[in-house]
Every structure is written in structure tokens, then in C-alpha cells.
């Protein structure tokens, strides 16, 4: 999440989540939406910043390779973002129908949401646009390489639907055009050589090109991946008007130890003190809202002084380990040095150092996990025989909380409160 917040990403399209059942959770200032997938190798999702998450009306999975999320920006304005994960050239070579099915699904979704006020398509297309040919208007001239037969399918799709490749617009260095970095073995020298391609692309209609302010890729993210973070900045205030970020004010809930009222002495003391506090309030002649606020303040004051409060429950207890934090920062620094080093011998040495740190981190994490299990076992042993089994099951067999969702007749998740009410 720190990678997204540092680049001020509002909506991020996620691929290869490898989650079969989907997820919906808040983490690090973002709402993470994962859609279910039939294949454990796929999985699509979205990361939406909190100030924009309240505008989500629906999100759905068309297939394992295409997903959609929509935002209600105003009473008459809708923004649609389509997330894609294209088939690789190896899959297309053995099964040409897979590529045709992918572009057919994408074409149907694009046509269905073309009436949106704003439309963006982003993801891993596994295809390269390469250098622009003459009279092509679906891309700018800032791309890389040449186009082959598999890449022509993407170019044909953009041309047919009037879309434009955003990250070919601006003149950036080659390292900021590269979106995927891999390796292959050179047949002539039998040496491993790096590969740099632009296969992650952000698309928008031609009519929205003027909204673009910048588009490029970013390497050096904290999340280790062969893909780079591809960002497109657009001035959407020109479409939706001047509106700021929707700030959400939250107040911490206070839980009182109401079980203390079961004691007759404490209950009587609470009743007498509350009656005296309410009687001393100057309520005469004041508006009803102000009277109620004064009474509520008196109730809270008496409850806090007589029965006390309960500390907030920590549902997810994460123990901070300074040694693991230091090793994590060290391996992250080594990874950045590996990516920025051109000397193969020095790169191999850095990789060996990083592997040693990673192995040490695994050993430390295993030792911490064993210590936690020993602590839980000791906690169970301290209980009497009737409570041991219940406590052991509750500690070892915790299940994630499943959030209730509402779906329409087509199985799509409904987020708009008005549609939920209907």
C-alpha cells in the first residue's frame, strides 16, 4: 500500500491475485476488492483509495481475464475502470481461441460501458504496441520495438473501438517506458540477457486524451515483481467540475463495562449519581437538541466514573520484530541495488547477499511463530479442563470474517445504497 500512497494512486488494477474466493478489506488507506477466479494462477482485483471508495457503485468479474468497477462521481456522472489480464504468447500459440475469447469479452464490456462519463482500461495485455506505423492514431510515438502478429490483435482492438494508449504519449527515458522486465538465454552466446518490454498499458477514449497530464512506469517498488507500476495522471476535475477529496470523519467507539451493573452496589451508585447529574443540568429554555446533548454528556461522564470503559479489542495482533524490520529494509535496499547494477559479477554478489538475508528472515519468522505457538499452548494449559478445548479451538481455528454482500439477478455485486434498497 505504501507504493500506491507514495504515488498518490486513486484506482489501481491488480492482476494475478491468486485468490479463488475473492476478498473485500480496508488496509493502509485503501479498499482492496478481490474478485473470485476459477484458476489459481489468475485473479483480478482493485485497490481504491478511501476517499473514492465511498463512490463505488458496483464491481464485477466478467471472466478470469476481465473485471469492471464503476464509480458514481455525481448524480449524472459515472466513471468506469476495466481491468484486464491478457493471455501470453505461449498460450496463444497453442490455443488461438483463447486470444479471440479474451478480445471478444473485452469488446463486449467496452461497448456496454462506452456511455460512461469517463472510461479507462488498464492491465497486463501481454502484447506490445511497439513503434507506431504511419497513419495510426490509437497510440503516440513513444513506444519500443516492432510489432508481431500476436501484438496486431491489440492494435486492431484499439483501432476498432477508438481507444488510445496513454503511456505512449509522453517522452520519457526507456526505463520509464518499460513495464515488464525478464530474462532469456541468448542462443549465440549461451548467456542470460535481460528483456525489457512494454506490455502493461492504460487505455482511454480519444476524446479524453486532453485530460492526460503524465503517464509512465515506476521501478523500485517495495513489492517485488517482474512488472513495474504503470501510472496515468489525468485532470478529471475538467469533467466532473471542481470537487475535492471526500474526507470521512471517524470517531473512536467507547465501550463501557456494563457487566459491572450486575453488582447491586455499583448499580445503585450509578443510578443515584446519574439522577443527581441530570437534575443539576440547566435544561430549561434550551433547544431540544442541546438538551439531549447535555443529558448524553452527563450519562457518559457518570458511566466512565462509576463502571469504567473496556479497552478496544485487538482483532489482529501483529507483533513488531525490530530484527525482522532491519533485515527487511536491508533486503529491499539490496534489491534496488540489483536492479540498478549493470555489472553482472557485482549483481551476482548482491543476489547472494540478498538470498542470505531472505533465508535469515525465514528462520527468524519461523522462530517467532514457534514462540507464539508456545505462548498460546501455555495459555491453554493455565485454564481448567472444561475451558481448555474451547480456548484451543478458538486460538487455532480462527476464520476470516466474511462480509455480507448484495447481488443482482445476474450475480453482480451491488454497492449503490439506492440499488440495494430496491
Count Cα neighbours of 314 within 13 Å in the Cβ-side half-sphere.
Answer: 4
Contacts of 76 (CB under 8 A, 6+ apart): 117
Give long-range contacts, CB 8 A cutoff, 24+ apart: 337-344.
339/219, 339/220
Q: Which pairing describes strands 44-49 and 56-61: parallel, antiparallel, or unpaired?
A: unpaired
Residue-level pLDDT at 417: 57
Angle at 29 between CA 411 and CA 11, to 5 degrees: 55
Alpha-helix runs per DSSP H in 247-316:
264-279, 288-306
Residue pLDDT, tens place only, 153-184: 888 888 899 999 898 888 888 888 888 888 88
User: Residue 414: what pLDDT?
Assistant: 63
Would you state the pLDDT for residue 319? Answer: 62
Share of the chain above pLDDT 90, in %: 14
pLDDT of residue 246: 43
- The Cα 122–Cα 14 span in angstroms is 9
Q: Tell me which DSSP letter residue 227 carries.
A: B
Please give the pLDDT value at position 398.
59
Nearest to 229 by CA among 178, 269, 193: 178
Which pLDDT belongs to residue 22?
81
CA-to-CA distance for 200 and 85, rounded, in angstroms?
9
Q: What is the predicted pLDDT for the residue at 235?
A: 86
Give me the pLDDT at residue 249, please: 45
Q: Distance of alpha carbon 421 from its chain centroid, rounded?
A: 27
pLDDT at 416: 61
| Residue matched to cell numbers 470523519 | 249
Query: What mean pLDDT do residues 349-372 have?
Result: 90
**Least confident among 138-142, 237-241, 403-407:** 403-407
∠ CA 26-31-35 to the nearest 5 degrees?
Answer: 110
pLDDT of residue 239: 73
| Predicted confidence (pLDDT) at residue 312 exceeds the cutoff of 70 | no
Give the mean model confidence (pLDDT) for residues 49-56: 88
pLDDT over 60 at 196, yes or no:
yes
Evaluate if residue 262 carries a pLDDT over 70.
yes
Look at 392 and 59; give whichever has higher pLDDT. Answer: 59
Residue 244 has pLDDT above 50, yes or no: no
Cβ neighbours, 10 Å, residue 313: 7
Q: What is the mean pLDDT of the chain?
A: 82
Q: Which of 127-131, 342-346, 358-362 is most confident?
A: 358-362
C-alpha cell at 374: 508456545
Task: Give the pLDDT of residue 291.
Answer: 85
Q: What pLDDT digit, counting tens, does each position of 270-305 carry? A: 999 999 998 898 888 888 888 888 898 989 999 888
pLDDT of the residue at 224:
79
Residue 313 pLDDT = 54
Instruction: Judge contact between 82 and 113, C-beta under 8 A.
Output: yes
At 145 the pLDDT is 59
Q: Which of 17-21, 202-206, 309-313 has the lowest mean pLDDT?
A: 309-313
pLDDT at 141 over 70: yes
Per-residue confidence (pLDDT) for residue 69, from 0 to 100 = 92
Task: Assign 242 a pLDDT band (cuts: 50, 70, 90).
Answer: very low
Amino acid at each position: 500500500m505504501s507504493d500506491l500512497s507514495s504515488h498518490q494512486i486513486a484506482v489501481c488494477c491488480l492482476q494475478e491475485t491468486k485468490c479463488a474466493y475473492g476478498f473485500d478489506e480496508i488496509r493502509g488507506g485503501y479498499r482492496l476488492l478481490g474478485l473470485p477466479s476459477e484458476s489459481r494462477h489468475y485473479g483480478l482485483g482493485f485497490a481504491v483509495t478511501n476517499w473514492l471508495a465511498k463512490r463505488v457503485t458496483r464491481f464485477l468479474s466478467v471472466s478470469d481475464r476481465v473485471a469492471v468497477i464503476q464509480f458514481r462521481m455525481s448524480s449524472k456522472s459515472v466513471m468506469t475502470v476495466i481491468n484486464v489480464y491478457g493471455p501470453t504468447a505461449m498460450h496463444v500459440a497453442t490455443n488461438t481461441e483463447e486470444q479471440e475469447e479474451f478480445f471478444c469479452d473485452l469488446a463486449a464490456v467496452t461497448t456496454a460501458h462506452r456511455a460512461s462519463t469517463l472510461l479507462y482500461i488498464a492491465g497486463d495485455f501481454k502484447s506490445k504496441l511497439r513503434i507506431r506505423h504511419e497513419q495510426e492514431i490509437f497510440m503516440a510515438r513513444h513506444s519500443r520495438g516492432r510489432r508481431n502478429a500476436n501484438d496486431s490483435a491489440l492494435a486492431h482492438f484499439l483501432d476498432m473501438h477508438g481507444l488510445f494508449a496513454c503511456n505512449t504519449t509522453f517522452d520519457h527515458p526507456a526505463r520509464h517506458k518499460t513495464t515488464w522486465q525478464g530474462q532469456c538465454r541468448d542462443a549465440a552466446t549461451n548467456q542470460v540477457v535481460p528483456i525489457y518490454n512494454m506490455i502493461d498499458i492504460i487505455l482511454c477514449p480519444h476524446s479524453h486524451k486532453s485530460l492526460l497530464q503524465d503517464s509512465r512506469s515506476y521501478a523500485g517498488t517495495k513489492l517485488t515483481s517482474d512488472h513495474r507500476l504503470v501510472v496515468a495522471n489525468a485532470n478529471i476535475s475538467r469533467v466532473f467540475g471542481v470537487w475535492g477529496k471526500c474526507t470521512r470523519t471517524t470517531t473512536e467507539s467507547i465501550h463501557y463495562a456494563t457487566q459491572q451493573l450486575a453488582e447491586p452496589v455499583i448499580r445503585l451508585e450509578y443510578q443515584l449519581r446519574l439522577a443527581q447529574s441530570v437534575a443539576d443540568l440547566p435544561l430549561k429554555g434550551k433547544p431540544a437538541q442541546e438538551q439531549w446533548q447535555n443529558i448524553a454528556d452527563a450519562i457518559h461522564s457518570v458511566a466512565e466514573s462509576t463502571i469504567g470503559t473496556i479497552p478496544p479489542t485487538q482483532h489482529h495482533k501483529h507483533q513488531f520484530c525490530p530484527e525482522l524490520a532491519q533485515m527487511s529494509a536491508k533486503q529491499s535496499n539490496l534489491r534496488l541495488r540489483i536492479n540498478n547494477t549493470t555489472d553482472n559479477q557485482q549483481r551476482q554478489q548482491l543476489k547472494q547477499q540478498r538470498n542470505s538475508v531472505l533465508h535469515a528472515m525465514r528462520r527468524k519468522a519461523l522462530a517467532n511463530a514457534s514462540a507464539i505457538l508456545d505462548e498460546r499452548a501455555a495459555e491453554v494449559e493455565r485454564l481448567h479442563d472444561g475451558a481448555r478445548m474451547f480456548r484451543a479451538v478458538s486460538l487455532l481455528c480462527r476464520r476470516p470474517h466474511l462480509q455480507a454482500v448484495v447481488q443482482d439477478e445476474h450475480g453482480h455485486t451491488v454497492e449503490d445504497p439506492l440499488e440495494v434498497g430496491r
